[in-house]
């Protein structure tokens, strides 16, 4: 049983992770996906999000203390909730296995929990590269408008890109914060370089990234940014904020990183990528080297290995 606190209709990352893991596991197991655990029989529970899934985690642990209980830590719980929410911390203790979604994620956990923690990088189906037009330099931004994604930086960065840079910013994401939606609309009216597309289907968002010269990803909090993975596997280089959920995917020495909230720094990187072919090529080569980490077969093997080992440990305890 996979528990995720968001529905398919939300177009949110947790739901897509749950759906992808279910597909991976169905080759060997009977799998169900739900918003909460209702007592349905299960040999193993996988819960996404320590805080939002806390009720299901506690109920399953109470009913089946001997069974595997895997908690997958997303951005807000790993980098915020476990520091200030008692239920989220309790979920960590109840879990028999923990999963983080970037290579630096375990650093955010207490040392006592790291021995039961695995790193599983998410994946995306690779897309063939698409030639770019010789017109405006296109920057894609993909992420719902909410504070964690820092859309304000996108709008602020525009002010620091010189007018002679032929720039176009295409921003896909629904307004989960109404105030941010109003700001996006106002920016689009004021600045012809910026277009807010609103919420778009995931396939369309991927094609947007594929057509862009770069993806700008300014989040202040990510567990393992799926948009970054989807851009890299679409052969689109990334300019991103220096958080573990980005650096833990792109590598500590990735050349397209700016400090969190640094609109000027982001604008400098965008301008360099637009004006210096060598720098854009450097970003592209760095991303290409990371792409192999995000292959679906690699994620599938990791997920199945995790569940296989968890169930083997459970079987040994029963004997």
Same domain, 155 and 89: no
Say yes or no to pLDDT of 11 above 90.
no
Instruction: Tell whether 16 and 141 lie within a shared domain.
Output: no
pLDDT > 60? residue 10: no
Q: Are 66 and 318 in contact (CB under 8 A)?
A: yes
Could you report the per-residue pLDDT of 45-55, keeping only the tens digit for each? 999 999 999 99
141 and 276 housed in the same domain: yes
Exposed e or buried b per residue across 160-199, where buried means at least 16 C-beta atoms within 10 angstroms of its C-beta: ebeeeeebbbbbbbbbbbeebbebbeebbeeeebbebbee
Instruction: Give the domain CATH number at 233.
Output: 3.40.50.2000
**Residue 12 has what pLDDT?**
63
Q: Are residues 116 and 205 in the same domain?
A: no
Query: Cβ of 85: how many Cβ atoms within 10 Å?
Result: 16
In a domain, 269, yes or no: yes
Write out pLDDT tens, residues 185-206.
Answer: 999 999 999 999 999 999 999 9
Instruction: Please indicate, yes or no, if residue 130 is contained in any of the structural domains.
Output: no
Cβ(248)–Cβ(105) under 8 Å? yes
Q: Is residue 131 part of a domain?
A: no
Assess if residue 203 is contained within a domain. yes
In a domain, 129, yes or no: no
What is the per-residue pLDDT for 154?
98
| 94 and 157 co-located in one domain | no
231 in any annotated domain: yes
Q: Is residue 132 part of a domain?
A: no
Above 60 in pLDDT, residue 164?
yes
Whole-angstrom Cα distance, residue 83 to residue 60?
23
Domain count of the chain?
2
Residues 170 and 276 in one domain: yes
What is the pLDDT at residue 318?
67
Q: How far apart are the first and last CA of the chain?
A: 23
Whether 9 shows a pLDDT value over 90: the answer reads: no
Cα gap 150→221, rounded to integer Å: 9
Report yes or no on 53 lying in a domain.
Answer: yes
**Are both 162 and 66 inside the same structural domain?**
no
CB 34 within 8 A of CB 2: yes
Q: Number of H helices and number of E strands within the chain? A: 13, 12
Q: What is the pTM of this model?
A: 0.92
Q: Which domain holds residue 194?
A: 137-294
For the sheet with 214-217, list strands across it: 194-198, 167-172, 137-142, 214-217, 238-241, 257-258
- Averaged pLDDT for residues 59-67: 96
Helix or strand (DSSP H, E) at 46 = strand 45-48
Whether residue 87 sits in one domain with residue 39: yes
Q: Classify 239 as helix, strand or coil.
A: strand
**What confidence category does residue 85 fall into, taking pLDDT thresholds of 50, 70 and 90?**
very high
- Alpha carbon 36 to chain centroid distance? 22
Judge if 179 and 200 occupy the same domain: yes
pLDDT (0 to 100) of residue 211: 94
54 and 43 inside one domain: yes
pLDDT digits (tens, 9 = 90+) for 212-255: 999 999 999 999 999 999 999 999 999 999 999 999 999 999 99
- Residue 247 and residue 163 share a domain: yes
HEC string of 141-196?
Answer: EECCECHHHCHHHHHHHHCCCCCCCCEEEEEECCECCHHHHHHHHHHHHHCCCEEE
Q: Indicate whether 284 and 306 sit together in one domain.
A: no
């Amino acid at each position: 049983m996979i528990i995720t606190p968001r529905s398919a209709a939300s177009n949110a990352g947790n739901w897509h992770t749950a759906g992808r893991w279910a597909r991976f596991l169905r080759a060997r197991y009977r799998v169900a996906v739900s918003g909460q655990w209702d007592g349905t029989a299960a040999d193993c529970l996988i819960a996404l999000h320590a805080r939002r899934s806390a009720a299901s985690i506690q109920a399953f642990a109470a009913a089946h203390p001997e069974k595997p209980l895997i908690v997958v830590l997303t951005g807000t719980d790993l980098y915020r909730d476990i520091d200030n929410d008692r239920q989220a911390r309790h979920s960590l203790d109840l879990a028999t296995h923990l999963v983080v979604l970037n290579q630096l994620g375990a650093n955010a956990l207490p040392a006592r929990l790291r021995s039961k923690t695995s790193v599983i990088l998410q994946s995306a189906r690779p897309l063939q590269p698409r030639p770019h037009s010789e017109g405006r330099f296109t920057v894609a931004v993909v992420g719902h408008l909410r504070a964690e994604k820092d859309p304000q930086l996108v709008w602020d960065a525009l002010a620091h890109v010189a007018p002679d840079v032929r720039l176009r910013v295409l921003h896909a994401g629904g307004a989960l914060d109404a105030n941010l939606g109003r700001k996006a609309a106002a920016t689009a009216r004021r600045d012809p370089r910026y277009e807010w597309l609103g919420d778009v289907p995931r396939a369309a968002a991927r094609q947007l990234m594929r057509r862009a010269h770069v993806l700008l990803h300014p989040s202040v909090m990510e567990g393992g940014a799926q948009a970054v993975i989807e851009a890299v596997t679409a052969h689109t280089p990334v300019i991103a904020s220096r958080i573990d959920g980005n650096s833990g995917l792109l590598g500590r020495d990735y050349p397209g990183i700016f400090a969190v909230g640094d609109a000027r720094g982001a604008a400098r990187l965008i301008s360099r990528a637009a004006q210096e072919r060598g720098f854009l090529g450097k970003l592209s080569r760095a991303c290409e080297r990371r792409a192999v980490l995000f292959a679906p077969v690699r994620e599938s093997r990791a997920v199945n290995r995790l569940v296989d080992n968890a169930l083997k440990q459970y079987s040994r305890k029963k004997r």
